[in-house]
Amino acid sequence: MRKVVIIMALMFLASLAAGLVCLPHLPDRIATHWSGLSNTPDGYMPKLAGALVLPGFMLMAQLVLLPLWLLDKAVKDAAARQLLRRIACGVPLTVASLATLSQAFILAFNLGVNLPVAWLMLSVAAATIVLVVVLAWPLIRAETRASKEAVKRLPPGTWFPAKRFGWGWGLPCAWQGWLVMIVCLVLTIAGCLLIACRFHGTAAALLILPYLIAMIAAISIICWVKGERPQWRWGEDS
């Protein structure tokens, strides 16, 4: 966790310094939000708030991480501690990375650099995917092994085995489960993008949140019907 805190601190200081250095050269009101993938801004903030709001988010993410050190020392189970560390480090680090990318784009755009908004969206998506895969790789590998082993012990017609870490279901153990997962993933991404392109600000958030809840509920129901009954597990069964 110490390395993650150092990395996040460096990103925070770099973003804060960039905002302060660019502040005298920014217009009084700067663009901070864009409609869909177009280069036409539809949201503005005073330059001081706009230049410092994202470093503020990064600082909040780092403050959330620090108290988890105490909880990490209190957890004795090795697998549970590994899972806690990955969540505690991954979420704030992802927030900080996305805030750094967004800060660089906002400053460059308002300084007159003509960068397509699509570049920002692609960069954010790529950074999120890379961070999630890197941080979750040990758990992904464990769940992959568990999925292969589940085929031998679960009755035919079971699509999702119980997770090895935490509560819920792991990677599918049948092609039908993979099909369901891919379809739900495509519908989730497509639906969120469609809502983000047609709405913005509070309206988009109010529509995306229930849509995500509905998609999570749908996949959870399918997993419950066609999956192994889940229980809390920390690696090997006790």
Per the model's pLDDT, the better-predicted residue between 196 and 54 turns out to be: 54
Question: pLDDT tens digit string along 61-72?
Answer: 777 766 766 666
Angle among Cα 142, 83, 184 to the nearest 5 degrees reads 65
Domain total in the chain: 2
Residues 72 and 50 in one domain: yes
Cα–Cα distances in angstroms (integers) from residue 205 to residues 136, 178, 211, in the given order:
27, 29, 10
The pLDDT-based confidence of 116 (bands split at 50, 70, 90) is confident
The 10s digit of each residue's pLDDT in 210-235 is 888 999 999 999 999 998 888 777 65
Where does a domain end: 100, 117, 147?
147
- 114 and 57 share a domain? yes
Range of the domain at 53: 1-147
Q: Residue 68: is it exposed, middle or buried by C-beta count within 10 angstroms (0-12/13-18/19+)?
A: middle
Q: Same domain, yes or no, for 41 and 130?
A: yes
The answer to whether residues 110 and 15 belong to one domain is yes
* Of 69-78, 149-158, 172-181, highest mean pLDDT: 172-181
Q: Kindly report the pTM of this predicted structure.
A: 0.56
pLDDT value of residue 237 = 47
Question: Which pLDDT value is given to residue 63?
Answer: 75
Pair (124, 160) in one structural domain: no
Same domain, residue pair 86 and 23: yes
**Cβ contact 115:157 at 8 Å:** no
142 and 26 in a single domain? The answer is yes
Examine the fold and report which residue of 92, 116, 147 is the final residue of a domain before the chain moves on: 147
Confidence of residue 194 (pLDDT cuts 50, 70, 90): confident
> Both 15 and 42 in a single domain?
yes
Most confident of 9-23, 37-51, 105-119: 9-23
Domain end: 122, 147, 172, which one?
147
